[in-house]
């Protein structure tokens, strides 16, 4: 039997109609090598595979026309739905969204914005709050561990002194020897480090480690987004019932989303949360 390769629902409908009216052999449905098969698409949108009538008797032709009418409606509905809910955003990676972070201001607890010059240079981060005018830079978070550990120049006994969180490096400081009491100037070692607001974890911006403004719980799982664009991209993906790979060159941001976000059973709950989070954002002018 000739195998028909169906590329879209419209072609399918035309063939089905032809099968009813002109005694054509019922087309079989198969995936071709260049496009996703119709059965797969139908499975993705949650519809059963269609059944085409075979018989050419007048009775079955009538029932064929009736079922064709019903199926035509169903198929066109499904086609429209699939087109309307197909994910077709650019194949972005998570870093594509890591230039701005909506966070909770450490002073007034309202929404503040962190901007960085590059996702790969988070030390360039700058925090600005438009509610309380608080601002600071990632460089402000740098601290120094200043330490001296050596033997006394006079008596040879051990001298040890540490300043754990100095805001600036120290060139030299005077230390009295605990054994002989001699006070001398010593040159310390300065080790720099960044002191964020919190220990790094999910739900925190990767610079300053402040709580992300856009976050919420879904059945015990933490949902979060860096900013409006990130939230919108996730919303598009979650809302789409047909999710196809956008590229084979890299793994995209949406493909790396946690399983609970991809899970169809959580779709409604996540879309509801996203809409709630959208209301926390200022409306565009
Ligand atoms: Zn503030
Ligand atoms: Zn000494």
3-state secondary structure of 63: helix
Report the separation in Å between the CA atom of 170 and the middle of ligand 2, taken as the mean of its atom positions.
Answer: 22
Ligand 1 centre from 114 Cα, in Å?
12
| Cα gap 235→229, rounded to integer Å | 10
Burial class (CB in 10 A: 0-12, 13-18, 19+), 268: exposed
**Would the pTM of this model clear 0.75, i.e. be above it?**
no
CA pair distance 113, 223, nearest whole angstrom: 19
Secondary structure (3-state) at 116 = coil
Pairing of strands 158-166, 214-218: unpaired
Gap from CA of 145 to ligand 2 centroid (Å): 24
Least distant ligand from the CA of 109: 1
pLDDT tens over the chain, length 285 residues: 333 333 333 433 443 444 444 343 433 333 333 333 344 444 443 344 433 333 344 444 555 454 555 555 455 665 555 555 777 778 898 889 999 999 999 999 999 999 999 988 888 999 999 999 999 999 999 999 999 999 998 999 999 999 998 999 999 989 999 999 999 999 999 999 988 899 888 899 999 999 999 999 999 999 999 999 999 999 999 998 877 777 888 889 999 999 999 999 999 999 999 999 999 998 755
- The ligand with the least distance to the CA atom of 132 is 1
- The predicted structure's pLDDT at residue 78: 57
Residue 152 CA, ligand 2 centroid: distance in Å: 5
Around ion ligand 2, residues with a beta carbon closer than 5 Å are 152, 154-155, 177, 179-180, 182
* 177 Cα–ligand 2 center, Å: 5
Considering every ligand atom shown, identify the ligand nearest to the alpha carbon of residue 151 and give its number.
2
Query: Do the bridges between strand 4-5 and strand 29-30 make them parallel or antiparallel, or are there none, so unpaired?
Result: parallel
Å from CA of 221 to ligand 1 middle = 28
Ligand in nearest proximity to the CA of 213: 1
Closest by CA position to 93, among listed 247, 283, 243, 211: 247
* Token couple for 256: 């790396």
Kindly report the number of other CB atoms within 10 A of residue 73's CB atom: 10
Q: How far is the CA of 112 from the centre of ligand 1 (A)?
A: 6
């Amino acid at each position: 039997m000739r195998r028909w390769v169906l590329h879209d629902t419209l072609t399918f409908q035309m063939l089905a109609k032809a099968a009813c009216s002109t005694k054509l052999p019922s087309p079989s449905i198969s995936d071709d090598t260049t496009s996703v098969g119709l059965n797969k698409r139908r499975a993705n949108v949650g519809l059963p595979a269609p059944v085409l009538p075979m018989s050419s008797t007048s009775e079955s032709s009538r029932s064929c026309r009736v079922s064709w009418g019903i199926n035509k409606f169903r198929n066109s509905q499904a086609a429209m739905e699939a087109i309307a809910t197909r994910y077709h955003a650019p194949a972005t990676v998570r870093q594509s969204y890591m230039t701005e972070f909506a966070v909770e201001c450490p002073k007034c607890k309202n929404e503040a914005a962190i901007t960085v010059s590059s996702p790969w240079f988070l030390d360039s981060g700058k925090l600005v709050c438009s509610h309380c005018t608080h601002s600071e830079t990632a460089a402000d978070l740098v601290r120094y561990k200043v330490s001296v550990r050596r033997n006394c120049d006079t008596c040879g006994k051990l001298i040890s002194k540490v300043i754990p969180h100095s805001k600036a490096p120290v060139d030299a400081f005077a230390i009295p020897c605990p054994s002989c009491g001699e006070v001398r100037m010593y040159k310390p070692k300065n080790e720099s480090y960044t002191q964020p607001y919190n220990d790094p974890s999910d739900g925190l911006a990767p610079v300053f480690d402040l709580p992300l403004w856009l976050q919420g719980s879904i059945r015990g799982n933490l949902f979060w987004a860096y900013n409006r664009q990130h939230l919108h991209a996730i919303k598009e993906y979650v809302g789409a019932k047909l999710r196809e790979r956008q590229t084979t060159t890299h793994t995209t941001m949406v493909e790396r989303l946690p399983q609970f976000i991809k899970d169809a059973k959580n779709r409604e709950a996540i879309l509801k949360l996203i809409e709630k989070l959208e209301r926390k954002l200022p409306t565009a002018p």
